[in-house]
Amino acid sequence: ATTFDEFTKLVVTKSRGGSGGPKLVFTPIQLNVNKRDITFANQLFINNEFVDASDTSRVLRTINPNDESVICSVQSATKGDVDRAVKAANDAFESGEWPLMNARDRGKLMFRLADLMEQHKEELATIESIDSGAVYTLAIKTHIDSKLSVCRSTRGSGAVYTLAIKTHIGMSIDTWRYFAGWCDKIQGSTIPINNARPNRNLSFTKKEPIGVCGIITPWNYPLMMVSWKMAACLAAGNTVVLKPAQVSPLTALKLAELSVYAGFPPGVINILPGTGSVCGQAIADHPLVRKLGFTGSTPIGQTIMKSCAESNMKRVSLELGGKSPLIIFNDADLDRAVRHAMGAVFFNKGENCIAAGRLFVEQSIHDQFVSRVLEETKKIKIGDPLDRSTSHGPQNHRAHLEKLVEYAQIGVKEGAKLVYGGAQVDRPGLFFTPTIFTAVTDDMYIAREESFGPIMIVSTFPDGDVDGVLRRANATEFGLASGVFTRDISKALYVTEKVNAGTCFVNCYNKTDVAAPFGGFKQSGFGKDLGQEALNEYLKTKTITIEY
């Protein structure tokens, strides 16, 4: 029974040419999951075709973290496959249809892809859920905040982070639409310069695409991280060779399929599942790749930066690790602080680059805060991410789960107080209990290192010691995000000025938006995703001076 909403979307899609377009011949993986049929490819995507890897014996086994069952085997790209994809991307950039296309028409293709993603949102959400453990929400919306109040009233404290799949899929769609709107608004400027008298001079700049861009994305938000980087890259007029996360490549391959139906020319988008050591390294080393965007760990980011320098001095932007401080003052709205602090730590099972890695709670409210958090944490429904009542799903893969168990053991050994959790859940699958540590001192491992999991690290600071807590918050090599809760606007603004992080949330957390630049300082990397600033990562400025 077609709804009016579905009908109107179909009319819009047809008006944008999204039906009856290019066909794609391949043999998909077909599954019936979540009471629906889903299909996706398991090959490499090069030049608008799904093709076999040069070595078909090399495969990646994708695992469903809910029960550790094998979803399928995905072919793994070799160095030769990377060369083939890069050359296809270079041909598309140099002499294909893409560089001849009007910027507005490029935007139409991106809008069309977003429309197709919207049509397939339930399928994308299901694939993302089985491939990464992301909690599925039936009513997948492209906008998150408008539904927060409803969800909070019906699902309690878990609502702040039960919207994970709305972020995974909804924000991905929003990202494509946002950058599609930028395609015909990229422009240079005229510059007054001294004239070579008696002649006159005119100087102006042009913003031009860089060329072939390599993109390497992480496993915590598989589709969203692909979208954050690829949408800006394509809006700027580049072509792309992308390596999705080795353990969660399936929604990227589905996106590749939809890009053909949207009408993207051959070679513009190339997606290569593979390992970091082979496929990722080959992209970083390739001389025809002129820019590389990476999201992942700081050690790998350092390796990539070195490879980019040694190969051909390719430009690089890095979004790396974090240990984001969240400061809660005693004048904060405690209900709000508890709710958002839980979201800051437990959202997406803690697999969140900007997660609050350390909470600083003012001494006079510490015990009350911890008591409230503990009470609400015990209510969290852990279970199958496809179950509509679940608010906390499994960790992405086994190696990560084992690291979380070890991380908690280190915390106990060093003398931190384990208030709750700290171990794997006693059930099949890769589930880790939401965990709370208190009495954490600055010298402890868990105070300094990122867990990338649902582990809340709580420390106290003396009442009124604003500068002291800021010194402790900044005493880290990371600088990705931060947060503060207080009713005192002067105190809040003082913290935003002094905290050394790329993002600072005031009386909220995890409030990212496609229009707001996102990126870190120090060893959390450099460069921006999202917002107008993200376009600059994929553009070069050419100065033209005329004498007349």
Catalytic center residues = 319
Query: Which among 504, 232, 243, 218 is positioned nearest to 352, based on CA atoms?
Result: 218
Residue 452 gets the label, from left (phi > 0), alpha (psi -120 to 50) or beta, of left
C-beta separation of 470 from 495 below 8 A? yes
* Residue spans of beta strands (DSSP E) within 29-151: 29-33, 36-40, 44-46, 49-51, 59-64, 69-75
* Distance in angstroms (rounded) separating the CA atoms of residues 181 and 175: 10
* Distance in angstroms (rounded) separating the CA atoms of residues 130 and 170: 17
Question: Is the bond leading into 198 cis (omega within 30 degrees of zero)?
Answer: yes
Q: Which residue has the tokens 């600055």?
A: 442
* Distance in angstroms (rounded) separating the CA atoms of residues 307 and 305: 5
The DSSP code for 134 is P
How does strand 201-209 pair with strand 435-438? unpaired
Number of C-beta neighbours around residue 145 at 10 A: 12
456: β partners: 436
Whats the size of the chain, residue-wise? 548
Query: Which among 334, 290, 321, 330 is positioned nearest to 308, based on CA atoms?
Result: 290
Summary count for the chain: helices (H), strands (E): 18, 24
Element (H, E) at 443: none
Number of C-beta neighbours around residue 478 at 10 A: 24
Cα dihedral sign, 336-338-339-342: positive
Residue 63, classed as helix, strand or coil, is strand
Query: Which among 487, 506, 511 is positioned nearest to 495, based on CA atoms?
Result: 506
Which amino acid is residue 260, in one-letter code?
V
C-beta separation of 91 from 270 below 8 A? no
Query: What is the token pair recorded at 328?
Result: 């809660």
The DSSP code for 449 is S
Backbone angles phi, psi at 54, to 5 degrees: -65, -25
* Distance in angstroms (rounded) separating the CA atoms of residues 242 and 114: 18
Query: What is the token pair recorded at 4?
Result: 């009016």
Centroid of chain to Cα 168: 8
* Distance in angstroms (rounded) separating the CA atoms of residues 427 and 26: 38
C-beta separation of 458 from 448 below 8 A? no
Centroid of chain to Cα 488: 32
Query: Which among 340, 354, 122 is positioned nearest to 220, based on CA atoms?
Result: 354
